[in-house]
Amino acid sequence: MQNILEIKGLNISFRLEDGVFKALYNVNLSLERGKILGIVGESGCGKSVTAMSVLKLLASNAVIESGEIIYHGQNLLELSEKEFQQVRGSKIAFIPQDPLNSLNPLYTVGDQIIETIKFHRKVSAKEARRLAINALKDVKIPEAENRLKEYPHQFSGGMSQRVLIAMALSCNPEIIIADEPTTALDVTVQAQVLELIKEIQRHRNTSVIFITHDLGVVAEFCDYVAVMYAGRIVEYSDVRTIFKNPLHPYTRGLLESLPAENKKELKVIKGQPPSITESIPGCVFHPRCPHRMEICDKEPPELTAEVAAHPVNCHLCR
């Protein structure tokens, strides 16, 4: 299967008041055409930093120390902001998690979608309006032509998220990056939005990077999954393998914390993830790991599939 996007050896740090601290450690990922890659982990593990690096939307205090992000043979990190504007939105689109903060309350939904289309597709106002109406229809918003004239506050949370999806799809991108797009929605609406994204992805053969903390969603929605912890990829495989044969103790901990009918009580991963300013020798997960060995305190493991069935960053799999 052809890779449409490859992240190679990405290392990112942030300048803070107390110094420069590492946020991503040698991240390697690939996204196949027409597939959905889930990136999962607790808050602060580096999921959103990874996604924002692809979009070149990192904070001003971020430092990309090394690495490549290859799209159609071009390293996106080498593009100027002006050059990247031809990619962001038109080729690689973004669905944020909070529609209330992402839509401008002073402009109609139609104005905002039309502006996006005109910027990226260089079409007339009439054609942009037609494409905007079609985009709303594609995300199953009824009476699309009339709702184009309405303001964000006139839409429910679920409908507002559909508007953001419509905006992302309006330029027919090859890749969509969705950063926990259903976090603010109730369970029923969440399922509808996920099914909508999946349906559109299948119909258009779009590739998706899906950021989430919910492995239950990953099981239903994704083809592949990268498990992140403290800025590192600790396990990486297809979804079926991860759920059937999880190798890393952190992955197993996340799976064991999922509710199930036969569970009397949920297990938890003791402790908290380290902050970006903490320096932990050896394996970064060892303070919380129930299978900790002496080597874990001293020597950091490397992500490898030489011995294990799939790439995993753990001394247990050596």
Nearest to 183 by CA among 161, 162, 208: 161
Its pTM stands at 0.92
Range of the structural domain that residue 223 is part of: 3-91+173-317
pLDDT of residue 187: 80
Amino acid at 290: P
Inside any domain, residue 136: no
Inside any domain, residue 140: no
- Which residues, in sequence order, are CB contacts of 57 under 8 Å at separation 6+? 88, 94
Could you list the beta-strand ranges (E) of the chain. 3-16, 19-32, 36-40, 62-71, 74-75, 92-95, 175-179, 207-212, 224-229, 232-238
**Are the CB atoms for 251 and 258 separated by under 8 Å?**
no
Question: In sequence order, what are the beta bridge partners of 30?
Answer: 6
Total structural domains in the chain?
1
Question: In sequence order, what are the beta bridge partners of 88?
Answer: 92
Q: In whole angstroms, what is the distance from residue 70 CA to residue 76 CA?
A: 6
Amino acid at 104: N
> How do residues 177-200 score in pLDDT, each as one tens digit?
999 887 777 788 888 888 888 988
Inside any domain, residue 152: no
Q: Are strands 3-16 and 19-32 parallel, antiparallel or unpaired?
A: antiparallel
Neighbours of 11 (CB within 10 A): 16
Inside any domain, residue 120: no
Which CATH number fits the domain that encloses residue 208?
3.40.50.300
pLDDT along the chain (318 residues), means of 10: 90 94 94 94 92 93 95 92 88 86 92 91 90 92 93 91 91 92 79 87 92 88 94 94 93 86 77 90 93 92 68 86
